[in-house]
């Protein structure tokens, strides 16, 4: 992310100067670096609303494309450009991934919270990794030996 970064303390100590810096940046966005927690993004409501609208519009376009055979075919054809690892998935799995991706993105856009999309991509990427590694795939798909390895206990809390 090409965002100007400032220490969070700068916002606290020099709020006007920090807001001026925000207004002067090309992306109208500042990354507030924190030592005691996750970094934060500072941007105007207008900018955040514009991004949310763009995401919502884009996902609606994808949903609409999925409703038409030709659109779905096009999305399937370009999917490897965005996610090269789908080449390791069987064709049926690629279709399932695309459907889940578009539907999840649509739901995320409606909530204006894109966080649930990442686990979908990560899970399918991990699946592709299993298909790409014959040894790993064999280890994960071969039948178990039937041996009883004992009871599984819950981990103790500290």
CB 53 within 8 A of CB 28: no
Report field, pTM of the whole predicted structure over 0.75 = no
Strand partners, 33: 7
- The predicted pLDDT at position 1 comes to 57
Instruction: Please name the residues in contact with 133: beta carbons below 8 A apart, sequence gap of 6 or more.
Output: none
Q: pLDDT-based confidence at 156, cuts 50/70/90?
A: confident
SS3 33: strand
- The predicted pLDDT at position 143 comes to 81
Q: 12-35: per-residue pLDDT in tens?
A: 999 999 999 999 988 889 999 999
CA distance 29 to 31: 7
Across the range 99-114, mean pLDDT stands at 92
Number of H helices, E strands in the chain: 7, 3
Across the range 50-60, mean pLDDT stands at 90
- The predicted pLDDT at position 158 comes to 63
Average pLDDT of the residues of the chain: 90
């Amino acid at each position: 992310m090409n965002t100007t970064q400032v220490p969070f303390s700068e916002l606290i100590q020099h709020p006007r100067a920090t807001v001026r810096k925000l207004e002067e940046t090309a992306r109208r966005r500042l990354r507030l670096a924190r030592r005691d927690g996750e970094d934060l993004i500072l941007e105007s409501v207008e900018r955040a609303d514009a991004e949310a609208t763009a995401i919502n519009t884009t996902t609606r376009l994808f949903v609409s494309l999925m409703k038409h055979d030709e659109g779905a075919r096009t999305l399937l054809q370009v999917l490897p450009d965005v996610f090269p690892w789908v080449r390791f998935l069987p064709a049926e799995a690629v279709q399932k991934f695309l459907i889940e991706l578009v539907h999840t993105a649509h739901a995320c856009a409606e909530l204006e919270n894109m966080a649930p999309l990442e686990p979908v991509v990560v899970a399918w990427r991990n699946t592709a990794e299993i298909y790409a590694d014959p040894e790993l795939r064999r280890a994960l798909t071969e039948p178990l030996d039937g041996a009883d390895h004992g009871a599984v206990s819950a981990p103790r809390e500290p």
